[in-house]
Amino acid sequence: MSGDRNGASWRGEGRSPGALVAAEGAALAFAVAGFAWLALIYLRMLVSPAPQEMREGALVVTTLALLDGRNPYGPAALAEAGNLYGIVYPLAVLPVAALFGAGLAVHRAVAGVGFAFAAWLLFRVLRSEGVERLTAGLATALVAAGWLYWVGATVRPDGIGVALMMAAYAAMAPRPEDPRRFALGLACSLLGLAAKVYFVFPAGVAAAYVFLFRSWRRGLAYGLATLAGIAAALALLALLFPGYPVLVLGANLAATRYDPHHLIRQSWDWAVFSLPLLAALGVRAACRPRLGTPSFWSFASLAALAALVALLGGHPGAHMSYFFHLLSPPLAVAVLAGGARRPEAGRALRLVLPAAMLANAHWFPLDPDRFAEAEARFAAAGRLIEAAEAPLVTTELAALAALDGEAAPETGHSEYFAEALAVAPPALLEPLWLPRATIAREVAGLAERIGAGLDGRRYDVVIANRGSSLVRAETLRRCRYRVVDRIEVEMAWSFQRWPLEVWRPAE
């Protein structure tokens, strides 16, 4: 429904006030019930002992290395203990893991605390921008649902990264030209860089905004400070964790692709998911706001959109994650700011929420029975690991094996280490790079250790998927292993499901 120049139709003029109130009440009840159910399902997933995403083991292995006093990015451990994302999340988990163990639930809970803090910050920002409490709460819940979508809520740095991103934005947004606020935002952004590279984004946004709309001299200084901070952070990380640039930057660069069809597909999916925000944006546009200097949050939304179109949106990585992290939070503030002056935008969001929830329910495992069934399947695999003297498992079971004290050479990230060989370091980063001979030796060493163990038939059970790059079916047959069983595993939260084959040495 369109509004006139003053958005009158969205204020309910010309229609029954009772009908509008009833519609809003029904929409609110539906939305609250839907978000409450999603929260319960999320908590059920959080405490599950079963893996919920195929690569959860990579972060668990990094945390276990830190608990053992080993450097996960040292050259000797890089292929087996490092992860592609960064060190901040395992460091955040470390004190909790020291008290309660490094289990999957502990890792997910730490990420969940990050999501909760980020959501609280977003709610506070919305309230400070004049958005009334109910609309601010619903908008925050919608954005947070995007953060929890698919693999986001599993053992990943997303929760900590989003918290650091929102902290940076919250610090800088009120007065981005203020040096102290920018310094605080830059510090949070640099921590975000070490959580997951693109969470450094807010510092660049603030520097560009100040340069374009406040003071070009100060903005230029902020931009140079951001670049210097990134360089110093990477140098420090390379000093403390020698293999960090190779795995976190090199392997990610090697895996980077740009597919315009993927950009279009996930842009559409995000638009359907974010329909309430887009409805609010449409109502604001229909009201014909005066054009002028964009707000900080509008500029941050445009900057995020540009980054998605130019680079991240076409990368066939985690579906919609970049959109939910970089675009949804600032867009929510941009379209709802000034809610006291433009309540029709908040009304549009509230009325459209039920339709959006129905359209996007299929993205979440809303049946709690899925978790119990998946846990039973992983428990069967876990019993085989516990009973074995020398098990070998692939990515899906890496966390269970590592937590049982067994080696987990294929972590879900280790196979990407080999891709770093294909990437020549950028000239500015070359001083931070491990020698290619060291990388090649570690890559070959990982494959050789697995191969030698299979040749000598030292593994008394092998549980492997059919697509493993390190544990191949033809190698197992050549080494006289045979399939004795199959286990269909499902990572319920991420809807990942496939068979694992159980191999034992032939008599």
Average pLDDT, the chain: 93
Confidence check: pLDDT of 136 > 80: yes
Q: What gap in Å lies between CA 138 and CA 336, rounded to an integer? A: 11
Q: Is 362 exposed, middle or buried (0-12, 13-18, 19+ CB in 10 A)?
A: exposed
- pLDDT tens per residue, range 301-335: 999 999 999 999 998 877 999 999 999 999 999 99
What's the rounded Cα separation, in Å, for the pair 84 and 250? 9
Q: Is there a contact between 270 and 304 (Cβ–Cβ < 8 Å)?
A: no
- Average pLDDT of the segment spanning 133-149: 98
Amino acid at 40: L
Please choose, from the candidates 55, 59, 67, 68, the residue with its C-alpha nearest in 3D space to the C-alpha of residue 94: 67
Q: What percent of the chain has pLDDT over 90?
A: 80
Cβ within 8 Å of residue 387, ≥6 positions away: 461
Query: What 3-state class would DSSP assign to 205?
Result: helix
- Lowest mean pLDDT of 201-205, 216-220, 344-348, 383-387, name the range: 344-348
Instruction: Give pLDDT, residue 250.
Output: 87
Dihedral Cα 352, 46, 313, 63, nearest 10 deg: 160
pLDDT value at residue 437: 84
Helix (H, G, I), strand (E, B) or coil at 364: coil
Banded pLDDT at 340 (limits 50, 70, 90): low
* Residue bearing tokens 């901040």: 88
Question: Could you tell me if 76 and 438 are in contact, meaning their C-beta atoms sit under 8 angstroms apart?
Answer: no
What does the pLDDT average to over 222-228?
99
Confidence of residue 50 (pLDDT cuts 50, 70, 90): very high
- Which helix (H) or strand (E) segment holds residue 124: the answer is helix 104-128
Q: pLDDT digit string (tens) for 161-175?
A: 999 999 999 999 999
- Higher pLDDT among residues 7 and 365, named by residue: 365
Q: Give pLDDT tens digits for 277-297.
A: 999 999 988 887 677 889 999
Write the single-letter amino acid at 328.
S
pLDDT on residue 252? 81
| Per-residue model confidence (pLDDT) at position 10 | 47
Confidence class for position 15, pLDDT limits 50, 70, 90: low
Estimate to the nearest angstrom the gap between the alpha carbon of 395 and the chain centroid. 19
The answer to whether the beta carbons of residues 209 and 218 sit under 8 Å apart is no
CA angle, 394 then 400 then 405, to 5° = 100
How many helices (H) and strands (E) are present in the chain, helices listed first?
23, 4
pLDDT of residue 112: 99
pLDDT for position 425 = 85
pLDDT value at residue 144: 99
Segment 345-389, tens digit of pLDDT: 999 999 999 999 999 999 999 999 999 999 999 999 999 999 999
Token pair 């887009």 is at which residue? 278
The answer on pLDDT for 3 being more than 50 is no
pLDDT digit string, tens, across residues 54-65: 999 999 999 999
Say yes or no to pLDDT of 181 above 80. Answer: yes
CA 397 to chain centre: 21
CA 465 to chain centre: 24
User: Residue 255 above 90 pLDDT?
Assistant: no
Contact 149, 195 (CB under 8 A): no
CA angle 38, 43, 47 (to 5 degrees): 150
Q: Residue 7: which pLDDT band, with cuts at 50, 70 and 90? A: very low
Entry pTM: 0.94
The whole-number pLDDT of residue 473 equals 95
pLDDT score of 6: 45
C-alpha–C-alpha distance, residues 45 and 5, integer Å: 47
Task: Give the DSSP H or E segment for 482.
Answer: strand 481-491
